Amino acid sequence: MFRKILIANRGEIAVRVIRACRALGVTSAAVYSEADAQALHARLADEAYPCGPAPARASYLDAERMLEIARACGADALHPGYGFLSENGAFAERCEAAGVRFIGPPGDVIRAMGDKLAARRLMMQAGIPVVPGSAEPITPQSALGLAEPLGFPLLVKAAAGGGGRGMRRVDDGAALLGAIERGAREAASAFGVGAVYLEKLLANPRHIEVQILADRHGKTLQLFERECSIQRRHQKLLEEAPASRIDAELRQQLGRAALGAARAAGYVSAGTCEFLVDRDDRFYFLEMNTRIQVEHAVTEAVTGVDLVEHMIRIAAGEPLGLAQEDLQLRGHAIEARIYAEDPARKFLPSPGALRVFRPPEGPGIRVDAGVVEGDRVTVHYDALLAKLIAWAPDRPRAIERLRGALDAFAIEGVASSLAFHRRAVRAPSFLAGRYDTGFVEDLMARGGTAEDTDGD
C-alpha cells in the first residue's frame, strides 16, 4: 500500500479521497489555490500545500506544479479525483515516469476513451451498439452529405472533452454550418481540440451508466447501472441506483456491454460506461468516463463497495477481492447534487459566504460535502456544495427519506438548488419513475404550478 497520496483536486471529491486514505492508513496530502487556503479539504488533510493563484489554469490544472508538489512532499501516488487533470492521459504518463503512481487508468486508455470518435470505432469493433453518426471529424464541406442520410435532428459534438461543451443541436440543413463553426470554436477553447462530429439526436432518451472496476490482474467487474437522466446543460442534478425502469434482461445486457467495453479498452481502475436508452429500450454506447464519477456514492450505497478505496488498492497492485457473483443490489439510493446556483435564474452560479450550512442527518442519509458553515463559495470553480444521498430498502422509501432530508437541509447566504430538488422529487413523472433527459426542461417550463408538487 502507498505511504502518501497527493490529492490533485479540491472540494467534496478531495474530502472523499482524504477519508478513503484515512481508512487505509495512508497519509493524505492536499493542494490548495490562493482562493482555497482555508477550504475544508485543506484543513482535513494530513498535509496541505499551495498550488498557485485562484484561476484553475494556474493552480489545479497546472500539471507541472502538481508533479513538483508530489515529488517535494514524497508522495508515491496521486489521486486526480474528477475534473481538472483526471482525464489527461499525458499527465497520467508523466506521473508514472516521475515514479508517482497515477490512481486511474493508463494514459493510453485515457486518451483512447477521451477521443470520442476513437472510442466509437473501438466499441463498434467490439460489437457494442453506438448512436448512429459520423466515423471521422466533419468539415463544413463534408457535413451536409453526412447529415442527410442520418436525418435531422442531429447533434454536433466535440471529439474531445465533455460536459456539453462544443455540442449543438441542428434541426435542418440551413443551421448545420453555423452549428459546426460555433461548436468547433467552443471545443477548441475548452479542450484545445476543435474537431467535431455528427451524431443522430435521439428523442428524449434515458441516460443510463454502468459502473466498472478492473484490476491489474485481468479481472473486470460491473456494479450495475445508475439512472442519470435528470440534467441541465448536460450536467447531472439527480441520480439513482438502480434505474427504475430497467428489467433483469436489460440490466444483464447493459452489464455485458460495459464489461465488453472495458475489456476492449484494456481498462484498469474505476470507470463508467455511459449509454443512451431509447423509448424501445434499445441502448447505445455514448462514452466512457475514465475516472471516478460524481455520482459514485449511489452505487456504493446499493452494493456496499467502497469504490474510492478499491481505486487505491487497484493502483497499488492489489487484486480485486470480489467476484461478479458476490455483487448484489441492496435496496435503492438517490443522490441530489446541491449546487450554489439559482434555479430561478437558469441555474446561474451564486457565490458568497455560507452564513448557514446545516446538512440533514438520519437513517439512510449520507452527505458528501466540500464546505462547512462559514466557508465562502468563489466564482473560480464548480458550484457543487454537497451531495445528499438517501438509501432505503426500496425506491418509495428512498424518495421519502430524500424528501425529508431536502426539507431539513438549511443553506443561507447563497442561492442553492435545494428548491429545484424539492420540486423534482415531488414531480409525478419522478414519483412514477417515468422520466427522461427532458425532465428538467419540462419541470422548469411548468414553473411553480400545483402539478409539480402533487403526489405528497
Q: Active-site residue numbers? A: 291
Bridge partners (DSSP) listed for residue 180: none
Which residues have C-beta within 8 Å of that of residue 256, sequence separation ≥ 6? none
279, with CB counted inside 10 A (0-12, 13-18, 19+), is exposed
DSSP, collapsed to helix, strand or coil, labels residue 30 as strand
What are 223's three cell numbers?
456494479
How far is residue 348's CA from residue 359's CA, in Å, rounded to a whole number?
22
Q: Calculate ∠ Cα 91-97-100, nearest 5°.
A: 80
Report residue 48: phi and psi, to 5°: -145, 140
Strand order in the sheet with 77-79: 47-52, 27-33, 4-7, 77-79, 101-102
ω into 242 cis (within 30 of 0): yes
How far is residue 216's CA from residue 109's CA, in Å, rounded to a whole number?
13
User: In 31-41, which positions are buried (b, 16+ CB within 10 angstroms) versus exposed (e)?
Assistant: bbbebbeebbb
Alpha-carbon dihedral sign for residues 215, 216, 217, 220:
positive
Report residue 453: phi and psi, to 5°: -120, 10
